[in-house]
A = this chain, B = another copy of it.
């Protein structure tokens, strides 16, 4: 209820601060019998971890995850899975000077007011460091979805500042530091980021994520629609300010005759809906987009107040990502995996009896 718990049937409960001893969590509800090892989780943790390119923070964390329980002789047992990632590069001294100052655009002020005190080291619990645990948990969901259901999840950077990036070739997203699927834009991105770092400023981004192989029927009307739960999951990622499903805000100026995806015996003729109709998956690809704000931790001086309410200037000298949107790609994938896994279990609970005689439309993609 205090917000550190996610999901209803496939659940993740996390703990840990940016500069504490460790971060970790508990995954509960994983079906038994799934082959699982720490290596399965490490793949995605390595994609998210800092210090791997010149475009991300210089903080170096091994982000090595340990599975403490719930796996026996290489398989999940159906009991809760304990996850632990030790913090190794927490230079707390970097942060001591901002102890009494609220950094603008950060959670410093709101945490202080909500709780009456706060762990000011690196943002404490509000740091995106916490998302490492989500990525580890999401990797478990991803493995189940892929191995048992044939569902695959692909995230990519679809815009960085003014540079729009098309999903030209999703197979290359892990081969470049931008999770970019548009090879022709890599040089432009590199140039943009070099210029940005010189200026000491940061930039926003748009991240897109899609899931293929999703069966018809996932999502619960009327409040826990699949798209509503995706929106909750995406907007719960640090720095996200907007979420779209399918055509998103473009629908505002669409006509009904243009928007509705025609259905034929050969399948849907388009996917403006993003794979969700009435809150329930339609069998098409699930398509979601999110907008990430530029980080407020920049070396450009900013106007703020201190804990006594006096004016203060803030200049961030710590190690930060100039575009936090980049590393959000594996986080978005993880969150989508968690939502789909949860809804798969919810659907199975109530509807396992259903043996529909209705023809399922072939995937049109």
Question: A222 — which chain B residues lie within 8 A by C-beta?
Answer: 3-4, 14, 125-126, 130, 236
On whether the beta carbons of A292 and B5 are closer than 8 Å, the reply is no
Are A356 and B116 in touch, CB under 8 angstroms? yes
Partner of A311, one of B112, B265, B274: B265
**Given the contacts A256-B298, A263-B304, A26 and B26 also touching, CB distance less than 8 Å:** yes
Decide yes or no whether A150 CB sits under 8 A from chain B.
no
Question: Could you say which residues of chain B place their CB within 8 Å of the CB of A14?
Answer: 26, 80, 222
Interface status of A33 (Cβ within 8 A of chain B)? yes
A324 CB, min distance to chain B CBs, angstroms: 10
User: How many copies of the polypeptide does the oligomer hold?
Assistant: 4
Complex interface residues of chain A between 48 and 86 (CB less than 8 A to chain B):
66, 68-70, 72-73, 75, 77-82, 84
Which residues of A127-183 have CB atoms within 8 Å of chain B's CB atoms? 130, 148, 159, 161-162
Is A189 in contact with chain B by the CB < 8 A criterion? no
- A249–B243 Cα distance when bound, in Å, is 8
Task: Give per-residue flags for A284-318: 1 if the beta carbon is below 8 A from chain B beta carbons, else 0.
Answer: 00000001111111101011110111110000000
Give the contacting residue for A353; candidates B23, B33, B273; CB below 8 A: B33
Is there an interface contact between A2 and B26, defined as CB atoms closer than 8 Å?
no
CB neighbours (8 Å) of A69 from chain B are: 15-17, 20-23, 125
